[in-house]
Amino acid sequence: MNSWVQKRDLFVIVGVSGDLANRKLLPALYRLSHDVPSESRFRILGVSTDPACSDNTFREKSQKSVKELAGVDLDSAWLDETLFFQSIGQGGPEDYRALVQRVESLEKSESLTGNRVFYLALPPPVFPVAITRLGEAELNEGPGWTRLVIEKPFGRDAASAESLNKLVHQYFDEKQVFRIDHYLGKETVANLLVFRFANSLFEPLWNRDRVDSVEILVAESLGVEHRGRYYDRAGALRDMIQNHLTQLLTLTAMEPPSSFDADAIQHEKVKVLHSISPIGPGDVVFGQYARGEVDGKPVTGYRQEPDVAPDSRTETFVAMRLRINNWRWQGVPFYLRTGKRLADRVSRIVVNFRCPPVSLFQPFVFSALRPNTLEITIQPDEGFDLRFEVKSPGVPFRLVTQNLHFRYSEAFQKSPEAYETLLLDVLLGDTTQFVRDDWVEASWRLYTPILEVPPQVAPYPAGSWGPKEADRLTSLPELDSATAATP
């Protein structure tokens, strides 16, 4: 049993009627606490603008919605003992004063610790108002600790991210703030630091002398589904590159931290961003899916999706080449690629090692010698594959590629869901797998010039691996350091 679930803390979900709360947050909190006796369990206060909702109707709606969206059947006794509701009406100052009274009343009637989490399960445009109202109502501090959780995307560009950080810091100390990215809760992502720094086999090879290139792919076979209105204002760069893929990039490329401390790890991740050269127009390809086939079934193009403008130029695909100009990675290209309606759903990091400088086997190998590769699969089948060459038995002399593989599902019991892991970290106060303010701002500064002058959007058929124009990025010769530093 986790020690924190035996503390009677209060978890406040602002925006509890939304998809995120019912699909992810409530199921994760239920799994974390359903085996804990009621007298030792935390409490959840759902908050929304519904003026007619009560504790009982909220419990009934939550049970139905969670079952429908997440396939989790919330126990009725757990609902009655754990879930409460408070309306904030129009979200004005007086509504938040009523929220203060309800929080204090619950803490008294349920004998809670005074520790509070405020989770903003809200659309990004509402973040500033909610943060301001919480601060003005003095809910930024309480009898115990107070923590604020903010979903991505955190800002739309460099200026908006800096402005939002400034607002957050007006009321909350940075140590209180947990900017959540659910990708960081996946076991394979969390294991990257252990994989790199706890195994002496890999660290000596993790540099420009032995690595030829690094590829980071997050591919989705689904389209925008019901998110058309949001996605048409965001696009793949804002939705995926700036957060998910850049997190994977900094974890892969960072230097060893001085300790396994959250600040030490965050510091090294930020240093990677500061080392990346400005991204030139020739290093980025945008794409947008058209009609095609996925799993043998015809699917519509992006412009035919609900709530998408018929002449939209929003990118659903991004391929990008980055250069990290530091001692470890000078001259090693990092390729980032993400898109919707691609051929398969897969997230992985591939480290391509350099080929031997002289091939002893040229008389026997009629094609180029394949490099050793390390493939880190984040989803759907979490694990690692190391590919290497061996001699095939018998004659003629022939080389074949073989795999050493590891899968979490084979070695361990079912891993916890990403939100379950991250919510536990919030309650423990561990910020290691969350995003710090300077990381957010450095990331947005890197990508904002692309958003200001975006490249042309190339169409690609749904069910493919993206536009053909993206393939040229990996075929371009690497530039020398002087040229690489020039936008």
Q: Which residues are catalytic?
A: 244
Residue 316's CB: how many other CB atoms inside 10 A?
32
3-state secondary structure of 349: strand
Element containing residue 118 per DSSP (H, E): strand 116-120
Bridge partners, residue 404, by sequence: 386
Task: Enumerate residues 6+ apart whose C-beta is below 8 A from 142.
Answer: 103, 114, 115, 116
Run of H or E residues at 439: helix 437-452
Helix (H, G, I), strand (E, B), or coil: what is residue 333?
strand
287 torsion bin: left (phi>0), alpha (psi -120 to 50), beta (else)? beta
Is the omega angle on the peptide bond into residue 380 within 30 degrees of 0, that is, cis?
A: yes
Number of H helices, E strands in the chain: 17, 17
The number of angstroms, rounded, from the C-alpha of 254 to the middle of its chain's C-alpha atoms is 17
Q: Which of 437, 443, 446 is nearest to 263 (CA)?
A: 437
Q: Are strands 373-379 and 10-14 parallel, antiparallel or unpaired?
A: unpaired
Look at residue 475 and give its three-state secondary structure: helix
Contact (Cβ atoms closer than 8 angstroms) between residue 134 and residue 149: no
The pair of three-digit structure tokens given for residue 136, joined into one six-digit string: 């003005």
Distance CA 229, CA 233 (A): 7
Chain CA centroid to CA 376, Å: 16
225 — phi, psi (to 5°)?
55, -125
Instruction: State both tokens at 80.
Output: 């009655």
Q: Is residue 46 within a helix (H) or strand (E), and if so which, with residue range?
A: strand 43-48
Ranges of H-type helices in 371-417: 408-411
Instruction: Give the residue among 326, 289, 321 at the shortest CA–CA distance from 308.
Output: 289
**Closest by Cα among 2, 48, 380, 46 to 188:** 380
